[in-house]
A and B are shown apart, each in its own frame.
Chain A
C-alpha cells in the first residue's frame, strides 16, 4: 500500500467517472425519440467530462504514486479486487477520453440517422470500457475492460460503417483478439508466479526470472503491438479507420490505439525491465520502419481517410520510438505525442467526417478548389495539417522534438532516421492539402468547385474548438501537461534501470541465444 494514495475526496471520483456513461444506457433504453436520445447522451458525456475534471486540480504532481485509489474485494477466493487509481501517465488519457466522447456525440448529430439508440448505447459503453482500461489497477479488471471495449467498437464499425464494414470489423476484432489472448496467457503466468494476486502494483515489485521475462514480454508485446499498431501488424488500422463512422474513427485514433503504448508503460516496462532493455533495440528499429514506411505509403493513397490512417501508423512509430528510447525526454515526448496525436488526428477525422457528410466521397481526386468553397473549413484543416507535420507553435512540434531528442540521445542514427519522417510528413500532408483545397480539380468530377458545399456550421465549430485550443495550448505552453508526468516518468525509468540481470545496458547480442 506504500505506493498508493487512497482517494481523499468524499465521493469515489474514479468510479463515478468510469460508470457514469454506463448509467446512461438504461436511460436511453427507455427513450424513443431520436432527438431526446442525442441530447441525453450528450448530457451524459458532458457530465462525465465535468466529473473527471477535478482529477486535474486534485492531482498531486510531486509523486509518482497511484492516486484517487479505490479498493474493495471482488472475488476474494481468486485474489481479485476492484482496484482503480491513476498516475501522471494515465490522467491525460482519462481526460482525453471524456473530452473526445462529447465530440463524438456532437459530430454524429446528423450523420447517424438510423439505429440512433444502438449507436449512442455503443458510444457510452465504449467510453466506460476505455476509461476502465486506463484506471484499472487489477489485472482481472483490466482484462475485462480491455476485451469489453472491443464489442461496442465492433458494433460501431460493423453496423454503422462504410461499404466494406463487415470485413473491417471482423479484421479489427480478430487481430486484436489474437493479441489479447496471448496477453491473457501472460496474465495467468504472472498470477501463478506472483503468489496468486492480480494487483498490478504488487506484481510490479516482483523480480521475475530472465527467461520468463522474455516470454512474458513477447506475450504482452503481441497484444500491445497490435493495438498501437506497430509495423508489421498495422494493417487492420487502415481498414478499420476507413470503414468506421466518424465517431468510431475518432475514438479509434484518439484513444483506442493509445492503449497499446499505455500498456507498454504500465505493464511491460515496470514489470519486465530486463526484457524491456533487451527488446528495446528491435522495437526502436520497428518504430523507425513504421515512421518511414507509414509515411511512404501515404504518398500513394487515393483515399482521404486511408491516408490519415497510414499517417497514424507513422505517428505512432514516433510514440514507440520515444517510449523505448528509455530516457526522460523520449518518454515524456512519447506520452505527450500520444495526447497530441489523439487531438490532431481526432480532429482530422472529425473534419473528414464533416466534409463527407456534404460530399459523400472519400476519394481525394474528387475534391479540388475547396479553399474557395469552404474557406473556414480550409482554414481549420490548414492548422491541423501543420500541427500534424510538427510545425513549432503547435503541439505536434513539442512531441516530435522531444522524441527525436530522446532518440538522438539514445542513438544518433535513430535520431537522424526519425527526423527524415518529418520531411516525408511535410511531403504527403502538403500534397494532400494542395489536392483537396488548392488546385482546381478535374472538371469531370462532381465536386470540382462548381457545386455549392456548405461551410462549417456553429455546431461543428464548437465540436472542433476544444481540440484547436489544445493544439496551441500544448504548442506554446506544454509545461501544463509535462509537469504532470515528470515524477511518474522518472520513477518508471528508475524501475527499468534497476534491472538485475542486464546491469543497465542493452545486451541484445548477449541474450539472443538465451531466449530459445
Chain B
C-alpha cells in the first residue's frame, strides 16, 4: 500500500512543474498544457484524499474538474486559434492588448 504522503508529494511535484512551466514558457500551447498538468495534480491529490478519508466527495469533484478542464481546453484552444488567425503569433510577450 502506497502511503498518502507519496501521493501528496507526487501531486505537489506535478503542480510545481506545471506552475513553473506556466510562468516560464512563452508559448501559449505549452502554457496550456502546463495548466492541464496543474489541474491533474489537483486531481491526483483529490483522489488520494478521497481514498484516504473513505469519502466519495473527492471523486465527484474530480469529475467536475475533468469536465471543466475539457471545456476549458476546447474554448482556450479555440481562442488561441482565433487569435493566431488575426495575429500570427502565440507568444504571450507579444500579446498585450489588455494593457491599460
> A and B touching (C-beta < 8 Å)?
no
Residues of A near any B CB (own CB < 8 A): none
